[in-house]
Amino acid sequence: MYIEDIKKISKEIRKNIIEAVYHAQSGHPGGSLSCADILAVLYFKEMHIKKDEPTLPERDRFVLSKGHATPALYGTLAEYGFFPKEELKSFRKIDSFLQGHPDKNKVPGVDMTTGSLGQGLSVANGMAMMGKLNRKDYRVYCLVGDGEIEEGQIWEATMTSAHYKLDNLCLIVDNNELQIDGKVENVMNVNPIGEKLKSFGFEVIEIDGHNYQEITQAFEKARNIKGKPTAIVAHTIKGKGIYFMENQVAWHGKAPNEEQYKIAMEELK
């Protein structure tokens, strides 16, 4: 039953992504769709959070380091009940609280303002260190893109994660192999990601980022790793769930027209 429930939730999150980007006629659907399944498991199965108490001190934290993937984050938060789904139609519009990048001061459920690539893991480290210092049991999850980890700050941050033995930290790499300018391996090859993170001191788990059982088991394993941080390298498909967007780099940052919107929403039925 759990897997069937998560499948339905993932599909609703994907609908929310398309809804938001279509009505804004702006945004990043490709990398949002690739991480939808991960966020579905994270928010609806793994994390300790309360929609009525978004700043609960004991809550688990999530940092969307690839901040342009807000359609996925907003779509998940709306599905969870942090704010009405109808608000997604105001995405990126003037005076909307749903900006193109997440703002923790405006959006219920957002734990960190992000958008400048490469900085999220540093913030997540700080959150995890504070949890250790305050003897709190919360966990911190940070989602980065495989294109994003071309940023040098990410690797400085991984050294910090390992040096301070942040076993309450879980790094998730959305490894969809595409970024705005093309294939990651052609723009700036970051492979082998898993081996590099392992050499930096992480426990590394490689999974199919669209297999709900593998995602769930990876988070369960991460919770039980002691003495070092965990990295989940999730192999995903950019644009997953919409046939004409899958593995197409053009959909990194492009909104569907009316016809494409109808086709996408019909497919997600």
Task: For 48-57, write each residue's pLDDT tens digit.
Answer: 999 999 999 9
CATH number at residue 183: 3.40.50.970
How far, in Å, CA of 160 to CA of 200, rounded?
A: 9
Residue range of the domain that includes 246:
2-267
Return the structure tokens found at 74: 């907003």
As a whole number, mean pLDDT of residues 98-126 equals 98
Number of domains the chain is built from: 1
- pLDDT of res. 41: 98
pLDDT band at 61 (very low <50, low <70, confident <90, very high): very high
Whether 123 contacts 153, CB under 8 Å: no
pLDDT by residue (tens digit) across 18-45?
A: 999 999 999 999 999 999 999 999 999 9
Which helix (DSSP H) or strand (DSSP E) does residue 14 occupy?
helix 2-24
In the structure, what pLDDT confidence band is assigned to residue 1 with cuts at 50, 70 and 90? Answer: low
Residue 263: is its pLDDT beyond 70?
yes
- If you average pLDDT over residues 111-125, what whole number do you get? 98
| Contacts of 216 by beta carbon, 8 Å cutoff, 6+ apart | 2, 41, 45, 46
- Tell me the pLDDT tens digit for each residue of 208-223: 999 999 999 999 999 9
- CB neighbours of 52 closer than 8 A, spacing ≥ 6? none
CB 20 within 8 A of CB 71: yes
Assigned token pair, 95: 């005076």
